Amino acid sequence: MNRAKLDSIREAGPAILPSVLNCDFGNLMAEVDRLREAGTEILHLDVMDGHFVPNLTFGMPIVEGLRRHTDMPLDVHLMISDPATYAKPMVDAGADMLTFHVEAVKDPVEVAGKVRDLGVGVGVAINPGTPLSELDVCLDSVDMVLVMSVEAGFGGQSFNPVAIDRIRELRSRYPELLLEIDGGINTSTIGAAREAGCDLFVVGSAIISSDDYTVAVSELNDAMMSAKGGSR
Ligand code: DX5
Ligand code: ZN
């Protein structure tokens, strides 16, 4: 529960962040151990409320359980209608980075300030169908932009290349801003995202549907690092 974790997230980049969305929740701790052993350093947690998105996943108890189980930073992606109300409970549960959707809130600057006051990193996420200009008002108030490369809500969707142009534009306007991409990232799409200037790559099915997480992570890492400018 401190912004020192934000520095460790920043320093980890370029990095692959596994999303546990489609993992075996009957064996969550073992899944996290496998992801750690595969070489990943930060966990991406997809919180959905069945309202902002049609899907429903988990809330604070799972975040708190993972917090007790691992020292990996927890990057919490809030796909919920009321992120301001749940920000403190999520931070109390152990979130290190909290990302809310710009589409979900009336005043993103106010919500970003509220999250920042809780002492964690703050990110703002944007869906592919939302004009990038919606972010303009709050880019000076956040540590990270999460550029969605699928419509938020489900794992396993195909990659929308509009995200690449967005990463490129944000990177040229904000050289120091942490940029994360989420949705449809695999060995065929990760290179273009890295070339465009992305730092953090959320990967769900390309790891979880593999029999061997270590092999999957290492192939993704190779594809990321061999992109132009891949290794920083
Ligand atoms: C989608 C979630 C993603 C999802 C990614 O709304 O935010 O984090 O788990 O899964 P893949 O990599 O399968 O698109
Ligand atoms: Zn996500």
Distance, CA of 165 to CA of 161 (rounded, Å): 7
| pLDDT, greater one: 5 or 130 | 130
Mean local confidence (pLDDT), 29-51: 98
* CA of residue 77 to ligand 2 center, whole Å: 5
Looking at residue 4, what is its pLDDT?
A: 84
Taking alpha carbons only, the member of 47, 44, 96 closest to residue 200 is 44
Q: Quick check: CB of 18 below 6 Å from ligand 1?
A: no
Distance, CA of 16 to CA of 185 (rounded, Å): 10
Looking at residue 230, what is its pLDDT?
A: 76
Judge whether residue 232 has pLDDT over 70: no
Share above pLDDT 70 across residues of the chain, in percent, rounded to a whole number = 99
Looking at residue 2, what is its pLDDT?
A: 63
Least confident window among 1-10, 92-101, 140-149: 1-10
Taking alpha carbons only, the member of 202, 198, 210 closest to residue 185 is 202
State the ligand closest to the CA atom of 19: 1
Residue with tokens 């370029």: 14
> Going by CA atoms, what residue is nearest to atom 12 of ligand 1?
204
Is the pTM higher than 0.75? The answer reads: yes
pLDDT band at 104 (very low <50, low <70, confident <90, very high): very high
Residue 74: both structure tokens together: 């927890």
pLDDT band at 52 (very low <50, low <70, confident <90, very high): very high
Residue 170: both structure tokens together: 């944000």
pLDDT band at 227 (very low <50, low <70, confident <90, very high): confident
* CA of residue 197 to ligand 1 center, whole Å: 20
Active site residue 182: yes
Distance, CA of 42 to CA of 162 (rounded, Å): 25
Q: In what order do the strands lie in the sheet with 74-79?
A: 15-18, 200-203, 178-182, 144-148, 121-126, 97-101, 74-79, 43-48
Judge whether residue 187 has pLDDT over 80: yes
| Average pLDDT over the chain, rounded to an integer | 96
pLDDT band at 79 (very low <50, low <70, confident <90, very high): very high
* CA of residue 159 to ligand 1 center, whole Å: 10
Looking at residue 229, what is its pLDDT?
A: 79
Q: Quick check: CB of 14 below 6 Å from ligand 1?
A: no
Q: Quick check: CB of 80 below 6 Å from ligand 1?
A: no
Distance, CA of 155 to CA of 201 (rounded, Å): 14
Q: Quick check: CB of 205 below 6 Å from ligand 1?
A: yes
| pLDDT, greater one: 165 or 227 | 165
Three-class DSSP labels, the chain: CCCHHHHHHHHHCCEEEEECCCCCHHHHHHHHHHHHHCCCCCEEEEEEECCCCCCECCCHHHHHHHHHHCCCCEEEEEECCCHHHHHHHHHHHCCCEEEEEHHHCCCHHHHHHHHHHCCCEEEEEECCCCCHHHHHHHHHHCCEEEEECCCCCCCCCCCCCHHHHHHHHHHHHCCCCEEEEECCCCCCCHHHHHHHCCCEEEECHHHHCCCCHHHHHHHHHHHHHCCCCCCC
Looking at residue 186, what is its pLDDT?
A: 98
* CA of residue 166 to ligand 1 center, whole Å: 18
Q: Tell me how far apart the 2 most distant CA atoms of the chain are, in Å.
A: 43
Judge whether residue 156 has pLDDT over 90: yes
Give Cα 7 distance to the centre of its chain.
15
Spatial contact of 100 and 78, defined as CB atoms under 8 Å apart: yes
| Each residue's pLDDT tens digit, 192-214 | 999 999 999 999 999 999 999 99
Active site residue 46: yes
| Each residue's pLDDT tens digit, 6-38 | 999 999 999 999 999 999 999 999 999 999 999
Alpha carbon distances (Å) from 18 to 4, 48, 109, 215? 21, 17, 28, 14
Looking at residue 83, what is its pLDDT?
A: 98
Q: Quick check: CB of 203 below 6 Å from ligand 1?
A: yes
| Catalytic hit among 75, 96, 143, 182 | 182
